[in-house]
Amino acid sequence: MMQKRGYLVRVSSFYLIIGDVMVIGKQILKWFLGFFVLSFLFFILVRTIPGDPVHRLLTTYQLPHTKENIEFLTVSFGLDKPLWYQYGYWISHFVQGDWGSSFITGRDVRMEILRRVPVSLAVGLGGVLLGGFFAFFLGYLSACKPKGFWDKFSRGLTLFIQSVPSFMIAVFLIYLLSVHFQVVKIYSDPAVAVLLAALLVALGTTGELCRVMRGHFLEIAATPYIHFARCRGFERNKLLLRDGLRPALIALISTMVGRFSWVIGGTAVVEFVFAIPGVSLFLVQSIGVKDYNIIQSYLLFILLWMGMVHVICSLFTYFLRGGVK
């Protein structure tokens, strides 16, 4: 009997693993397909931006727009080839790690993007993590006492975040801190700019997530195991933080997946206002000068980042749940 049960367990766990592998394989296939479909769409979108880089380059270096110059540059950029050939050339080299070089400055695009990523990550990831932390505790505090002070405060904060544009808060902060009181020099001290930008992102994240966290905490408070623990005389609010920590963390991570993938790209406005030399500001500048290679590579880089975030987050929730799907 015992032997048979052991055999059954082994067989069923074997099937479970097979099922997991199937699910993972499907996900990988989906991302793979999506990568190529979206890269094609992005390619078309980028190529339809009006104006062309050849004229831009000639204007930038103050060279005459002669026929020979234009022809030489068009051929050297490979822009004379048909579009499908350009796409194939670009994507096959991108996959191999050669992201091409900038049309205007001639620098290697991959180096240029990767050099700016840490700054963007400091603003975006730092802000989102900090915001998640605040949202967790604000949600907890407002679930402790519904209709209490923290509950009202979190509702006000959410409404404020949803109706005041973040760049206005930034402009106001800049003028208040560095023009009126002259406490810090934002544009000459990048560290301060990064710190302020991260705090702003944190504020936005807190505002968006704290109500969600409050809802999750209230849901947890209504579960049977909390109810029975309360019947045994434990305090509700302590229980929420001690026994409700794990489900609340899982909920927090699954709501934050979207924010994590937003980290690169979503902070464009903040980077623009604080003039932080991150990837998104780089993109805004590159769109201005029609640097095809940079824009395309940037979009695909975002896609890669999102894939990575989804993998990490699902692994994390997988382990938090104790290996249960």
Q: Which of 288, 313, 244, 298 is nearest to 117 (CA)?
A: 298
Name the token pair of 261. 């993938």
Backbone angles phi, psi at 185, to 5 degrees: -110, 100
One character per residue 16-55, x = contact with other proteins (rule: CB under 8 A): --------------x--xx--xx------xx-xxx-----
Report the amino acid identity of residue 169: I
Q: Which of residues 240-299 bind other proteins (CB under 8 A)?
A: 258, 261-262, 265-266, 268-269, 272, 280, 283-284, 287-288, 295, 299
Query: DSSP letters along 227-293, please?
Result: HHHHHTT--HHHHHHHTSHHHHHHHHHHHHHHHHHHHHHHTHHHHHHHT--SHHHHHHHHHHHT-HH
Nearer to other proteins, 12 or 223 (CB): 223
Judged by CB under 8 A, which stretch of 54-62, 80-88, 161-169, 246-254 contacts other proteins?
A: 161-169
Q: Where are the alpha helices (DSSP H) in 97-148?
A: 109-144
Nearer to other proteins, 63 or 176 (CB): 176
Report residue 265 CA to chain centroid gap: 7
Residues 6 or more apart in contact with residue 207 via CB below 8 angstroms: 157, 158, 160, 161, 162
Least Cβ distance, residue 275 to other proteins (angstroms): 12
Radius of gyration of the chain (CA): 26
One character per residue 197-226, x = contact with other proteins (rule: CB under 8 A): ------------------x-----------
| DSSP secondary structure letter of residue 180 | I
Placement of tokens 């695009």 in the chain:
109
The only residue of 72, 85, 172, 225 in contact with other proteins, by rule CB under 8 A? 172
Least Cβ distance, residue 165 to other proteins (angstroms): 5
User: Per CB under 8 A, does 167 bind other proteins?
Assistant: yes
Nearer to other proteins, 166 or 205 (CB): 166
Biggest CA–CA distance in the chain, Å, is: 90
E strands, 26-179, where?
A: none
Nearer to other proteins, 115 or 155 (CB): 155
Least Cβ distance, residue 22 to other proteins (angstroms): 15
One character per residue 52-91, x = contact with other proteins (rule: CB under 8 A): ----------------------------------------
Question: Which residues bind to other proteins, rule: CB under 8 A?
Answer: 30, 33-34, 37-38, 45-46, 48-50, 159, 162-168, 171-172, 175, 179-180, 215, 258, 261-262, 265-266, 268-269, 272, 280, 283-284, 287-288, 295, 299, 302-303, 306
